[in-house]
Amino acid sequence: MSYEGLGSESEGCAMEQWETLQSVHARTTIPLNTLRKWVKEKRIPFYRINRRIKCKVAEIDRWMEKGRIEPVKRLPGYWQKDKMAA
């Protein structure tokens, strides 16, 4: 029996990895209560499977990368002005 578009591991498609909120917490160090709050507010990608919350590893990684904030680049000599004013 063949399912169109699903692919198989022999075709180069690896199975997606799933994780629980506890493993997201362990991997990202985001507090578990915060993750639960974000699930309730639908601020984090998740799936509800038989009343359990599951997340795809790749989706969590993309979500974290999307929310990345670049460090601020200061102009040369900027910090010296602050010290002189004090």
pLDDT (tens digit, 9 = 90+) per residue, 26-67? 999 999 999 999 999 999 999 999 999 999 999 999 999 998
pLDDT at position 81, please?
56
> Has residue 46 been placed in a domain?
yes
Instruction: For residue 78, tell me if it sits in a domain.
Output: no
| pTM for this predicted structure | 0.62
Q: Is residue 3 part of a domain?
A: no
85 within domain boundaries: no
Please tell me which residue, 56 or 5, carries the higher pLDDT value. 56
| Total count of domains within the chain | 1
pLDDT of residue 13: 53
Q: Which of 40, 43, 46, 41 is nearest to 24 (CA)?
A: 46
Inside any domain, residue 6: no
Q: Is residue 20 part of a domain?
A: yes
> In whole angstroms, what separates CA 61 from the centre of its chain?
4
54 assigned to some structural domain: yes
Range of the domain at 60: 15-69
The pLDDT of 11-23, averaged and rounded, is: 80
